[in-house]
Amino acid sequence: LRSRSNRNTLSRGPNVVSFNTVILAYANSGQAERAESLLDEMEELCSVESLSSSSSSSTGVGALSCPNGDAVAVGGGSVARFDCRPNTITYNECIHAWAKAKNPQRAESLLRRMMAASHARVDSSSDDDDDDDANDNDSATPKDDDDDDDNRDIYVKPDTIAFNAVLHAYASSGGGRDAALRSESLLRHMESLYDAGNLDVKPDVVSFTSVLSAWASSGEADAPERAREWLEIMNALYESTGDENVRPNAVSYTCAINALGRSGMGLDGATAAHDLLSKMETLSQSGERIDLTPDVACYSSVIDAYARAASGNAYGKKKRAAMMTTTAAAGGRGRRRMSFEEERKERENAANNAEMLLDHMNELYRRGSGDSNNPVGAFASAVDVSVRPNVRTYCSVLTALGRSGAYGAAERAESLLDDMERSWAFGENDACRPNAVAYNAVIDAYARSGLRDKSERAREVLERMRERSGGDRGEGGGDIEGEGDGDGDGD
């Protein structure tokens, strides 16, 4: 009877799968603290099991073992042991929880703990802003204990998934240079482990792209160069090994494009980003790399870069320092005036390029299955939605035109607004429904223009906006909502 009672208790007891499923639920719902707390509980239960087993062996009292060893009742059933030893999945899910919470420090702390559980030690050391120190410093160097191989926890093995989760956390943390350097250090550590024979931590395209992303979002002056370096490293690694798992993909290129577009180098940065986009187009159209076919995110990133340049938001310290150096060398106000005239010309060119790229997107979108003269009824089934310009794309171009000072910019902006209204009204593009940002950008374009009747034209657009705010699709209107300011900086 006692044996049957124990069997009934054990059959209802949780095991590692039960715990892992709950941890995954916590991770997916953004409750990282609870996920890690449950991991702590699992480890504590394992410790109790060890103590209970030791006590039972020495006293011979209270040990009731299940035939499969999954659980033991100690002291007449006061302590129940279940098969709840944390495994690789347990740690990975907890690391994922902290990565999702954008807390890379806690994610890396769990990675270290995971490596300690597998009898590999991770030495901590502070990051250094110096590039050489970051390159040479392996602040996550494992130390395998060869003498304790028999005691190694075979259930826990740090792998590529765990490292990639931490890398992603640093990339999305907004931690600037420190996060980018730390991600580089972790990636180099992965490489050293793999080179030493640990095949479980082989860096892949996700690993490299996370480092690219960390630099792209860092806001550092050398971010574009570092991003391009890592893209070249990926290409070189693929060329030398033929390993598809490290070949840069569309996300990798988009990260590099973002880094260039946010470089603070104005039209130069935007043009470099456009060059990468053109490379993607060439490779995909040739059939060599179909997977590199640019999508709306790629095109919009370049348009955003042009919008920043046209709006003057891209002219950071680096660009202005170069301009001031040129001015000082020329000596005098005349040369300084030419520098600002050059900036105005660059802003005009940036707006023109943004508008041309939007036209190119629309051409690709309408081309779709190959017939660009589809009747309206067949349009939706023939277009290529992967490159469909959306309202944010249009707003970036509208803002670029309005702030560029280009000839006829206000009229061109209003014409673009007409296209948005028409495309949405006829069902050609449901993603370009004009919002408050679009109308405000056109109003601002007229306000900045040199037209004599600019106030009247701006008022007309305002009245048009009021009319559209309550209309349906047939009237080209609908509820107008704002979304960002359209200048390509995400505000």
Tens digit of pLDDT at every position of the chain (491 positions): 455 455 555 455 788 899 999 999 999 999 999 999 999 999 888 765 554 554 444 444 333 333 334 443 433 343 345 578 899 999 999 999 999 999 999 999 999 999 888 864 344 433 444 444 444 444 444 444 444 444 455 678 999 999 999 999 999 999 999 999 999 999 999 999 999 999 999 999 999 999 999 999 998 989 999 999 999 999 999 999 999 999 999 999 999 999 998 887 888 889 999 999 999 999 999 988 988 999 999 999 999 999 999 987 655 445 544 444 443 444 444 434 446 778 888 899 999 999 999 999 999 999 874 444 444 444 444 568 899 999 999 999 999 999 998 889 999 999 999 999 999 999 999 999 999 999 999 999 999 999 999 999 999 999 999 998 865 555 444 556 655 555 555 44
Element (H, E) at 477: none
Query: How does strand 79-80 pair with strand 64-65?
Result: unpaired
Do 102 and 172 contact (CB within 8 A), yes or no?
A: yes
Task: Report pLDDT for 137.
Answer: 42
User: What distance in Å separates the CA atoms of residue 302 and residue 296, rounded to the nearest whole number?
Assistant: 10
Instruction: Report residue 351 as tokens.
Output: 């707006």
Task: Report pLDDT for 264.
Answer: 79
Q: Structure pTM?
A: 0.74
User: What distance in Å separates the CA atoms of residue 369 and residue 360, rounded to the nearest whole number?
Assistant: 16
Instruction: Report residue 294 as tokens.
Output: 């640019």
User: What distance in Å separates the CA atoms of residue 464 and residue 462, rounded to the nearest whole number?
Assistant: 5
Do 188 and 138 contact (CB within 8 A), yes or no?
A: yes
Q: Which amino acid appears at position 280 of this protein?
A: M
